[in-house]
Chains A and B, each alone.
Chain A
């Protein structure tokens, strides 16, 4: 019955369902619902949505310095004179920057690695933004680094890796306190837990 229904839809609608189905968190049924909604909305509304998708994609890039998402180069966080220049928070993904900003517990700047070491998925240190981090440490030798990665095996191993590789090149390396449950990622931590993890950070190795 499903097959019959799908095959009778006009091809442009099928295309749209397929495209929407590629988005994270959108299953086949949600994709159908969204596509049907869009196909029946006023043309002007849909044009506006299409335009804002296009604008966002064109206007957003990663900051060459910290790796966070931004509409300017360098990003507003990197340019903000009120931020503490002596402390750098190392995170996995751009979204982690937003999560830590929400806690208001951190006033320094960020460095996005773009992932973590994952030998089983073929991600090695050379695939991460570590040379960029080393360059920043070279330019500014007395930084404190807070390593704020997820507390699963790969996150913790990456933290240990950084501590070894960067030892002696910064004033202090700390990691989040384990208020974070073992094996969880920053994305799922609530604000309070994350704030406590930052405030109670402890030396790495």
Chain B
């Protein structure tokens, strides 16, 4: 799968961009604040309909403009034309020129994995960030996962609204509890079946990056509820009422990360935490490759430049897989950290103040 054409209008510092891309390894070089990350952000937006910078859509609109446009031609088993227009008052998403009615019908047209500085939050941040990581992979691999996830959150919001009310109608609470269980159970099953497989890939990626004799990474699923969600909800009833919100369920699940049995967030060094985050992202990419038989588009923002040779070397098998499958990599760097050791068949681009030129 690769991005064959990208068209931007009024997207961040790109007033107009029309670019054709081959499969392979593209290096986007340039000084700071020229628009390298913005370009990766646009590609990631096409894949996931959100920014990896964890912000709302309005910030991506070029200053002084009403809305942005991001369009692409994507070539995989089939060819697709994807277009996003976003303004404060109007949002449009079309696939092959038809409006997309359900997001789940769109996701999967372009699969991408991003490596960026925000990744360290996977280790240091709250459980919500790790749940979102699992949810994204499950959305990228199971067609009905997103529908259940959205349904679960709708049921959760409704149930919490009942718990916050002055009087709780027990039958209404029971109605939304049943819905919470119905949507929550498939989420728990999906996360439980994904995690061991993902953890195995992450463990070997970490080993490659940290070198032999290093620590061993273990990622484990810690469900908030073990067993029957309906039973747990019933047991949690008094607590829910006291806290006026739903205290049990997969919205409180954890993905635990440990190095040699000790929690990585507390005991890992800064360098180890960074490696854990990289290994998780590499595992996401490898897992998607295994699952779909084709690698996702890799978006690598700066991180390579900060790595030592050993850690960088840990990436090479993944990049090699992409190369062999005629996948695609977009990698940003500044002149100082140009990745000389990653081979010679790189397509090199220069990004200057919102314009892109071959170099």
Q: Which residues of A contact B (CB under 8 A)?
A: 117-120, 124-125, 152-154, 156-161, 164-165, 182-183
Task: Evaluate contact between A165 and B171: CB separation under 8 angstroms.
Answer: yes
Which residue, B157, B162, B176, has most C-beta atoms of chain A within 10 A? B176
- Cα of A152 to Cα of B183 in the assembled complex, Å: 11
Task: Evaluate contact between B158 and A153: CB separation under 8 angstroms.
Answer: yes
Given A119-B162, A119-B176, A182-B147, is A153 in contact with B171 using a C-beta cutoff of 8 Å? no
Task: Evaluate contact between A161 and B175: CB separation under 8 angstroms.
Answer: yes
CB-defined A-B contacts under 8 Å, sample of 15: A117-B172, A119-B159, A119-B162, A156-B178, A156-B182, A157-B155, A157-B175, A157-B176, A160-B175, A160-B178, A160-B179, A161-B171, A161-B174, A161-B175, A183-B151
- Cα of A111 to Cα of B171 in the assembled complex, Å: 20
Q: Which residues of A contact B171 (CB under 8 A)?
A: 125, 161, 164-165
Interface of A is mostly: helix
Q: Which residues of B contact A164 (CB under 8 A)?
A: 171, 174-175
- Cα of A154 to Cα of B157 in the assembled complex, Å: 11
Given A158-B175, A160-B175, A160-B178, is A152 in contact with B154 using a C-beta cutoff of 8 Å? yes
The interface bits of chain B over 198-225 (1 if a CB of A lies within 8 angstroms of the residue's CB, else 0) are 0000000000000000000000000000
Q: A9 to nearest B CB, angstroms?
A: 22
Task: Evaluate contact between A157 and B172: CB separation under 8 angstroms.
Answer: yes
Q: Which residues of A contact B172 (CB under 8 A)?
A: 117, 119, 124-125, 157, 161
Q: Which residue of B lies closest to A121 (CB)?
A: B161
Q: Which residue of A lies closest to B158 (CB)?
A: A119
- Cα of A164 to Cα of B175 in the assembled complex, Å: 9
**How many residues of B are counted as interface, with CB atoms below 8 angstroms from the partner's CB atoms?**
20
Task: Evaluate contact between A124 and B169: CB separation under 8 angstroms.
Answer: yes
Interface of B is mostly: helix
Q: Which residue of A lies closest to B167 (CB)?
A: A124
Task: Evaluate contact between B161 and A157: CB separation under 8 angstroms.
Answer: no
Q: Which residues of B contact A152 (CB under 8 A)?
A: 151, 154
- The 8 residue pairs across chains A and B that have the minimum distance between CB atoms: A119-B161, A157-B175, A160-B175, A161-B175, A153-B154, A164-B171, A119-B158, A157-B176
- Cα of A160 to Cα of B159 in the assembled complex, Å: 14
Task: Evaluate contact between B169 and A153: CB separation under 8 angstroms.
Answer: no
- Cα of A182 to Cα of B183 in the assembled complex, Å: 11
Q: Which residues of A contact B179 (CB under 8 A)?
A: 153, 156-157, 160
Q: Which residue of B lies closest to A159 (CB)?
A: B175
How many inter-chain residue pairs (CB < 8 Å) link A and B?
59
- Cα of A183 to Cα of B178 in the assembled complex, Å: 15
Task: Evaluate contact between B165 and A153: CB separation under 8 angstroms.
Answer: no
Given A119-B159, A153-B154, A183-B151, is A125 in contact with B174 using a C-beta cutoff of 8 Å? no
Contact with B165, one of A119, A165, A182 (Cβ below 8 angstroms): A119
Cβ < 8 Å to A, chain B residues 229-256: none
The interface bits of chain B over 177-198 (1 if a CB of A lies within 8 angstroms of the residue's CB, else 0) are 0110011000000000000000
Q: A36 to nearest B CB, angstroms?
A: 23
The interface bits of chain B over 326-343 (1 if a CB of A lies within 8 angstroms of the residue's CB, else 0) are 000000000000000000
Q: Which residues of A contact B158 (CB under 8 A)?
A: 118-120, 153-154, 157
Task: Evaluate contact between B169 and A125: CB separation under 8 angstroms.
Answer: yes
Cβ < 8 Å to A, chain B residues 138-179: 147, 151, 154-155, 157-159, 161-162, 165, 169, 171-172, 174-176, 178-179
Q: Which residues of A contact B154 (CB under 8 A)?
A: 152-154
Q: Which residues of B contact A118 (CB under 8 A)?
A: 158
- Cα of A120 to Cα of B164 in the assembled complex, Å: 10
Task: Evaluate contact between A153 and B161: CB separation under 8 angstroms.
Answer: no
Q: Which residues of A contact B157 (CB under 8 A)?
A: 120
Contact with B161, one of A120, A125, A165, A182 (Cβ below 8 angstroms): A120
Which residue, A152, A159, A161, A165, has most C-beta atoms of chain B within 10 A? A161
- Cα of A53 to Cα of B200 in the assembled complex, Å: 68
Task: Evaluate contact between B169 and A160: CB separation under 8 angstroms.
Answer: no
Q: B88 to nearest A CB, angstroms?
A: 16
Task: Evaluate contact between B174 and A160: CB separation under 8 angstroms.
Answer: yes
Given A118-B158, A119-B161, A119-B165, is A153 in contact with B147 using a C-beta cutoff of 8 Å? no
Q: B178 to nearest A CB, angstroms?
A: 5
Which residue, A119, A154, A164, A182, has most C-beta atoms of chain B within 10 A? A119
Give 10 new A-B contacts, CB below 8 A, not counting A156-B178, A164-B171.
A119-B159, A119-B165, A152-B151, A153-B154, A154-B158, A157-B175, A157-B179, A160-B178, A161-B172, A183-B147
